Amino acid sequence: MIVTTRSTPARTPRAKALAGEPVFEVLGDSAYGTGEARAALTDSGHTAVIKPAPLRPAVEGGFTLDDFIVDETAGTVTCPNGVT
């Protein structure tokens, strides 16, 4: 990907839309992007949106990380059955 930046101030997506300019929402995995690329998108008045893949259980009918309550301060994890 070739990225260029502009020296003019960024215009918000709303300002661009009101002016009839195209506004894009760029979906991508941040693992394949750079801070420079994301800054260039923002500088151009576009919105970078990182859309992660939905979590899937390791086994059919199983649980995902979102089903557990993680308390890093206390150093505990509570399972969906309430066991900590």
Confidence of residue 7 (pLDDT cuts 50, 70, 90): very low
Which sequence spans correspond to the domains of the chain?
1-53, 55-84
Q: For residue range 42-57, list pLDDT tens digits in order.
A: 787 777 777 667 778 8
Distances (CA, A) of 71 to 57, 62, 75: 21, 21, 6
Is 6 or 26 the better-scoring residue by pLDDT? 26
Which pair of tokens denotes residue 43? 């500088």
Distances (CA, A) of 50 to 5, 62, 81, 83: 21, 26, 32, 33
Which pair of tokens denotes residue 8? 């003019």
37, 2 in Cβ contact below 8 A? no
